[in-house]
Amino acid sequence: MPEKIRIALDCMGGDFGAPVALAGAELSLKRLSNVEFLAFGDLATVEPLITTRPQLHRLTRIVHSEVVIRMDQKPAEALRHGRSKSSMALAIDAIKRKEADFAISAGNTGALMALAKIKLRTTDGIARPALAALWPSLKGETVVLDLGASIGADAEHLFNLAVMGGAMARTALKIDRPTVGMLGSYFSQFDRQHHAYAADQLLRDTQLPGLNYIGFVEGCDIGSGRVDVVVTEAFAGNVALKSAEGTARLIQKSLQGAMRSSWSSRVGYLLARGSFSMLRTKLRPPNGAMFLGLNGTVIKSHGSADAASFADAIAFGCKMVRAGVHSSIQQLIQPVPV
Amino acid sequence: MPEKIRIALDCMGGDFGAPVALAGAELSLKRLSNVEFLAFGDLATVEPLITTRPQLHRLTRIVHSEVVIRMDQKPAEALRHGRSKSSMALAIDAIKRKEADFAISAGNTGALMALAKIKLRTTDGIARPALAALWPSLKGETVVLDLGASIGADAEHLFNLAVMGGAMARTALKIDRPTVGMLGSYFSQFDRQHHAYAADQLLRDTQLPGLNYIGFVEGCDIGSGRVDVVVTEAFAGNVALKSAEGTARLIQKSLQGAMRSSWSSRVGYLLARGSFSMLRTKLRPPNGAMFLGLNGTVIKSHGSADAASFADAIAFGCKMVRAGVHSSIQQLIQPVPV
């Protein structure tokens, strides 16, 4: 049996709040063994949703919080109003006090990032945290970061992203010497003023052991699996993530329309529905991103996640904790003196 | 019959050079009427490819050029070596001398941009050109810019992108008062230092007539068709474009695999193949992007385009010229004094 994982669950985040968070937690129990939950949220809302789920009920302790950080609050506003008593803040406090192994929230990303950074602080040697996810590719999975934690970048920050992303690929994807690429475009490769250019030079010059830095890659290489780790500044990373999601949705809807467009295609769809269902599962947009570079593991779920997708994010968090992603980064950034 | 369009064709660009450019030109004749070509390239290569295509032959005049700009040359290098005599440079010269209505190349984007800017110059009032394309969406098509012409942006540049993108939507998509969104992420919306934040304020304050600026949108809104025009800085735009392409390729390959995974799905595929073929046509990655803000129309085809895709780019160029995209931008930026 794998070691027990204690999950601090912000029940009040996301577009749908507690019903999805708790239905997702229950669903996750079908896939995960030896986990337990600390559920942070409004008792009157959360308790009935848990008592009707006996398996979840047995594994969950509720911690009441009546303050909710809204999805549309600016990070500064969220900090003022929710820093000490919100369900999101209390879930992060549980990590700080070592009462949980990771915290998860589908809430306001900016607020989650701000609270996590203030409460957990960054690992020594890391100035700014990053948000990283595993992206499906033709060859398996690719670590992509930063997906939206620290907008704006200089060469040193991108260098740290490569180190942290490499550690994530080694531990979570079990790749000994992961290949790393810098997201670029034909111009940034020649533009000495561009942050990606300077970072590329720095990574080439340094030749980090344990990393195989291959230079610039493009947005299409995320899906192709050309490298194990794709490094980019957070604004571009967030744009890449969202535009890939938009494209996937566009294709899915067009496919649905096409399969309904004639009788023969309807019959064809019925015959192939097993394959379509496998495809849907395989291509379901991955959910769950991890903040790297903090003293603790905080997982962000998509705000619009449904229960199945929230369960994916919980499973992702467990995978990151069991793989030891967080501690491998701490070791890398702070080498133990011999 | 529509007015005649004269096309300056750089035959030597792209990953495949003249065979694809000329096969693409021939294919385009099935869809376009009243066009003729000026074909720039090495006579020994180009002539046999044209004489074997009688319809194309009748409509094409070859202009010999033995200098080719390579795909891997840096823009500065390409300028030094190909500024006066390369097939790409001569195609642009034809625009300048009004011997052609648009130039098209599948060659090195950086070099094409640098040559076009030096030879044609930017429209008065526009400091830096942009690369714009029509992106398929759930509702039709979306103008997206800048896809990679001018890396780095300030508020004024993004403001001009909104004006030029709006003009393209009005003329090419025939939308009277197009909606415009600024590509952002949850952070850039609150970050006063971010160029997108300042541009958003500027567009809100200005309330341009003929444009309905709605504020920030995200990468997923490109595919959803939430707005008619998506404005972004070129690095992020290029990343969005390429990551959408990578996602489309990933899904297409996974779909092919799924349809071959069992006998019933193979039969299902055969029954639905009409719909699959329609879907493929509909979702074929669009090819053809237009440089906006230059004194002339220059069209960039994907370097990896095959003949069908290169024909798409030629058709795109004709559509832009017939819609009057270029002149509508010039009028907007330089209002005629009353």
- Residue B47 is which amino acid? E
Average pLDDT of A233-262? 85
Contact between chains at A243 and B244 (C-beta distance less than 8 A) = yes
pLDDT digits (tens, 9 = 90+) for B299-332: 999 999 999 999 999 999 999 999 999 988 888 7
Does the pLDDT value for residue B137 go beyond 80? Answer: yes
Dist CA A96 CA B243 (whole Å) = 36
Contact between chains at B247 and A247 (C-beta distance less than 8 A) = yes
Q: What is the sign of the dihedral through the CA atoms of B249, B252, B258 and B263?
A: negative
Dist CA B168 CA B166 (whole Å) = 5
Task: Kindly indicate the confidence band of residue B1, based on its pLDDT and cuts at 50, 70 and 90.
Answer: low
Task: Kindly indicate the confidence band of residue A1, based on its pLDDT and cuts at 50, 70 and 90.
Answer: low
* Of residues B75, B236, B268, nearest to A272 (C-beta): B268
Q: Which of A137, A139, A185, A243 to mutate to test the interface with B (most CBs of B within 10 A)?
A: A243
Contact between chains at A242 and B219 (C-beta distance less than 8 A) = yes
pLDDT digits (tens, 9 = 90+) for B144-196: 999 988 888 889 999 999 999 999 999 999 999 999 999 987 666 667 778 88
- Res B81: pLDDT: 87
Q: Which of B150, B243, B261, B263 to mutate to test the interface with A (most CBs of A within 10 A)?
A: B243
Using left for φ > 0, alpha for ψ between -120 and 50, and beta otherwise, residue B98 falls in left
The single residue listed with the structure tokens 């930017």 is B122
Q: Where are the beta strands (DSSP E) in chain B?
A: 5-10, 35-41, 60-64, 102-105, 130-137, 140-145, 179-183, 212-217, 229-231, 289-292, 297-300
Give A103 to chain B, closest Cα distance, Å.
21
Residue B262: closest C-alpha in chain A:
A275
Q: Please give the residue that has the higher pLDDT: either B113 or A268.
A: B113
- Res A336: pLDDT: 45
Contact between chains at B258 and A248 (C-beta distance less than 8 A) = no
Contact between chains at B194 and A152 (C-beta distance less than 8 A) = yes
- Res B338: pLDDT: 45
* Of residues A188, A222, A234, nearest to B235 (C-beta): A188
Residue B244: closest C-alpha in chain A:
A244
Contact between chains at A183 and B239 (C-beta distance less than 8 A) = yes
- Residue A321 near residue A313 (C-beta atoms within 8 A): no
Dist CA B313 CA B102 (whole Å) = 12
**Contact residues, chain B, for A273 at CB < 8 Å:** 268
Q: Please give the residue that has the higher pLDDT: either B317 or A78.
A: B317
* Of residues A193, A220, A239, nearest to B246 (C-beta): A220
- For all residues of chain B together, what is the average pLDDT? 90
Average pLDDT of B22-48? 96
Both tokens assigned to B238: 């290029």
The single residue listed with the structure tokens 């495809």 is A279
Dist CA B215 CA B189 (whole Å) = 9
Contact between chains at B238 and A269 (C-beta distance less than 8 A) = no
**Contact residues, chain A, for B261 at CB < 8 Å:** 275, 278
Contact between chains at B244 and A219 (C-beta distance less than 8 A) = yes
Contact between chains at A275 and B283 (C-beta distance less than 8 A) = no
Classified as helix, coil or strand, A233 is: coil
Q: What letter would DSSP give residue A121? A: -
Does the pLDDT value for residue A98 go beyond 60? Answer: yes
Task: Kindly indicate the confidence band of residue A334, based on its pLDDT and cuts at 50, 70 and 90.
Answer: low
**Contact residues, chain B, for A240 at CB < 8 Å:** 219, 239-240, 243
Contact between chains at B278 and A258 (C-beta distance less than 8 A) = yes
> Which domains are seen in chain B, by residue range?
1-126+293-338 (3.40.718.10), 127-287 (3.40.718.10)
Q: Please give the residue that has the higher pLDDT: either A2 or A287.
A: A287
